[in-house]
Structure 1
Amino acid sequence: MRIGFIGGGNMASSIIGGLVASGFAADNIWASDPNTESLEKLRNVAPVHTGSDNHALIAAVDIVILAVKPQIMKMVASDIAASVQSQQPLLITIAAGVTSSSLDGWLGGNNAIVRCMPNTPALVRSGATGLFANARVSAEQRQAAEQILQAVGIALWVEQEDELDAVTAVSGSGPAYFFLVMEAMQAAGTEMGLSPEVAKQLTLQTALGAAQMAINSDVDAAELRRRVTSPKGTTERAINILQDGGLTALFSQALEGARLRAEELAIELEGE
């Protein structure tokens, strides 16, 4: 299959890097962007075809990945609508908040569209992506979309498009929650007398180790927590303070706030 990227930013670069690293031929990848510096960076990732003509790109490929910012998606989609209608490629969008129905309308209708929500760890090929396919996407196209996003991490399908708002709240925004926890732990370690560098290294390695244990374990996170929480020990004291402070409820409120904001953004973008 031949894949084209409209938009040559960080996410396009990371997906291209992941595809090539997994054995996909760079000669079967096209990228288009008006910024020559972005295209040069992509060529440094892999020797892909580059240019600034979106219409020529669409004519050359089977799959078009729309990797542009949500705020300009309507403009870009309206411009390429005629070419999309002529070539009928599979369209994959990574723009947050742009619904498949809005995008389909801007592109002239009756398009096979996969909407996905990757997160920033895709930049280091440790991403988590939620995907939704509209009714015109074939089984073969679903498989192709999944393979592309698996090049930068895990890719999981949802059956209802509004579930992508929950994906946004959990994994799309999720890295920032963990960064905040790391920030707080580093600050607390420094306050207790550790050097900033020691506090940083201990925090980051602990986060990495905990994630690896959870990924590789056959039990859930709650059980892993219980196993390291000895009765009347140091961990139990800390966990009790966090729970008494309402941590679980606070996380629930925070993620629900993120989900609601994702809904609001979709409404705002549709009105533009």
Structure 2
Amino acid sequence: MVFIGGAGNMAGAVIGGMVANGYPADKIVATGRDEQKLKAFCDRTGVHGRTDNLAAVKEADVVVLSVKPQVMQALCETIAPEVSANKPLVITLAAGIPLSAYQRWLGAGVPIVRAMPNTPALVGTGVTGLYAGEGVTDEHKSVATQMAQAVGIAQWVAEESGIDEIIAVSGSGPAYYFQFMESMIDAAEKAGMDRADAERLTLQTALGAAKLAVAADVDVAQLKRNVMSPNGTTERAIKRFQEGGLPQLVEQAMTDCAARAAEMAQELDK
């Protein structure tokens, strides 16, 4: 398995997760342009390092693309001679680029999976949306699932547009929670709490709520009701959120997010 751009943050997290879960490090090749950074990464993880992308993919059965979207076309055109000839499974971690673009850049008949991980993958608690293009077999899907589960959970979608929905929920979702945390910290500080204390309590509360929701055998609506006493403090706060239109605002924000993801795919496909 070859990771192009493998010493970067996201690919590095995936590789680290795979190795930690028992995938043989000596069967992974990571490529990068910065030789010093690449060597340090390989020394730390035990994987092989290469600086020549074309040579690295020559005999690969799986090629993972993890470079910035703006350089993806140039990369694909560089490795296209080997990829189009050998047709390895290609898994792309780049956001926004549709399969049609990869098919043009890499050649017809190459099995491609779009993977959309989110930033919590960096700490092993990510969500990765996955979409399989034409020619992707069940064995290919198993490989992609294993890769995604090394850093969290995997969610396959039946249509490519489903990746936009994954982005709206999980890809961009961490920022929604960070915004809410930031607002809580700011409000607590304005009320007189030390900012460091406000941050510590807010983050621990968010962590505890998420763990409780994952472990519970009831939905989050019931968990919310469990915290609320009639005419109590929590009920008053929740009513203020509802009167302020928080549910509708969240829905509108997620709709805008998915729409922008679709727009970006069209822009990057030109």
Structure 2: unaligned runs, 5 residues or longer:
none
Normalising to structure 2: TM-score of the pair? Answer: 0.97
The alpha carbon displacement at 1:25 in A equals 1.2
Pair 1:180 & 2:179 matched: yes
Q: Which residue of 2 aligns with 1:80?
A: 79
Q: Which residue of 2 aligns with 1:4?
A: 2
The alpha carbon displacement at 1:44 in A equals 4.3
Q: Which residue of 1 aligns with 2:16?
A: 17
Pair 1:211 & 2:226 matched: no
Cα separation, 2, equivalents of 1:45 and 1:256: 41
Q: Which residue of 2 aligns with 1:138?
A: 137
Q: Aligned with 2:154: secondary structure?
A: strand
Q: Aligned with 2:33: secondary structure?
A: coil
The alpha carbon displacement at 1:176 in A equals 0.5
Normalising to structure 1: TM-score of the pair? Answer: 0.96
Structure 1: unaligned runs, 5 residues or longer:
none
Given that 2:14 and 2:147 are in contact with CA atoms closer than 8 Å, whether structure 1 keeps it comes out as yes
Given that 1:33 and 1:51 are in contact with CA atoms closer than 8 Å, whether structure 2 keeps it comes out as yes
Cα separation, 2, equivalents of 1:107 and 1:157: 23
Cα separation, 2, equivalents of 1:261 and 1:90: 28
Cα separation, 1, equivalents of 2:30 and 2:86: 17
Off by >6 Å, runs of 4+ in structure 1: none
Cα separation, 1, equivalents of 2:43 and 2:248: 46
Tell me the amino acid that sits aligned with residue 147 of structure 2: I
Superposed, 1:45-194 pairs within 5 Å as: 45-194=44-193
Q: CA RMSD in A?
A: 1.1
Given that 2:87 and 2:109 are in contact with CA atoms closer than 8 Å, whether structure 1 keeps it comes out as no
Cα separation, 2, equivalents of 1:37 and 1:96: 27
**What percent identity do the matched residue pairs reach?**
49
Q: Which residue of 1 aligns with 2:224?
A: 225
Given that 1:214 and 1:220 are in contact with CA atoms closer than 8 Å, whether structure 2 keeps it comes out as yes
Cα separation, 1, equivalents of 2:233 and 2:39: 52
The alpha carbon displacement at 1:77 in A equals 0.7
Cα separation, 2, equivalents of 1:217 and 1:234: 23
The alpha carbon displacement at 1:60 in A equals 3.4
Q: Aligned with 2:3: secondary structure?
A: strand
Q: How many residues align?
A: 269
Cα separation, 1, equivalents of 2:43 and 2:179: 33
